[in-house]
Amino acid sequence: MEFLQTASINARNLLPAYAQLAMLLRGSITAQQLPPGAPLPSEPELVERWSVSRETVRKAMQLLRDMGLAETRRGVGHFVARTPQIHRVRLAPGSVVAIRLVSADEQAEVGDMYMYQVTEPGKPPVAYPIARTVLEC
């Protein structure tokens, strides 16, 4: 979990802290630093490491559950449910990336709550599900 040791949560980011934390944990899951069945760090560990509230950690875990990446065993902890198949998107110079909620129409098809909206210079925007996409510069 080397990645989690060097990453940080940015208070000035437009994404709420719980979404940033979920994305950091998702990164460790997709990089297979946390394989299926592995325990996720405990709530107290995450609270201390990231200087966030317990509610922030719980929302991050809920987001991971919503993505199908984590499962919670009451009284035991949170565990990696699966490693998602990842689509890698190489960003062209000058691309603009935004994060948005999925629409009701997209929800059933995408199975995710958030999408990357990538706009490359001279091209129409393209949406990618966050849980299954890694953006590369």
Specify the pLDDT at position 4.
55
Query: Which of 42, 63, 80 represents a domain boundary (last residue)?
Result: 80
91 and 72: one domain? no
68 and 13: one domain? yes
Asked if 24 and 6 count as a contact pair (C-beta separation under 8 A), the reply is no
71 and 92: one domain? no
Tokens of 131: 């849980």
* Phi-psi region at 37: left, alpha or beta (left = phi > 0; alpha = psi -120 to 50): left
Q: What are 52-89's pLDDT values in tens digits?
A: 999 999 999 999 998 889 999 999 999 999 887 788 89
70 and 7: one domain? yes
Alpha helices, H only, the chain: 2-6, 17-30, 43-50, 54-66, 104-110
Residue numbers of the domain that contains 118: 87-136
Specify the pLDDT at position 137.
83
61 and 91: one domain? no
Specify the pLDDT at position 5.
58
62 and 112: one domain? no
Instruction: Give the CA distances from residue 87 to residues 98, 128, 129, in Å, rounded to whole numbers and listed in that order.
Output: 17, 9, 9
Q: What's the chain's average pLDDT?
A: 87
Specify the pLDDT at position 111.
65
6 and 38: one domain? yes
Specify the pLDDT at position 42.
94
Q: What is the CATH number of the domain that holds 61?
A: 1.10.10.10
Single out the residue of 128, 18, 34, 42 nearest to residue 81, CA to CA: 34
Instruction: Identify the DSSP state of 124.
Output: -
Segment holding 114, helix H or strand E: strand 114-119
127 and 73: one domain? no
Tokens of 89: 């998107």
Pairing between strand 70-73 and 77-80?
Answer: antiparallel
Which regions of the chain are under pLDDT 50?
A: 1, 3
59 and 92: one domain? no
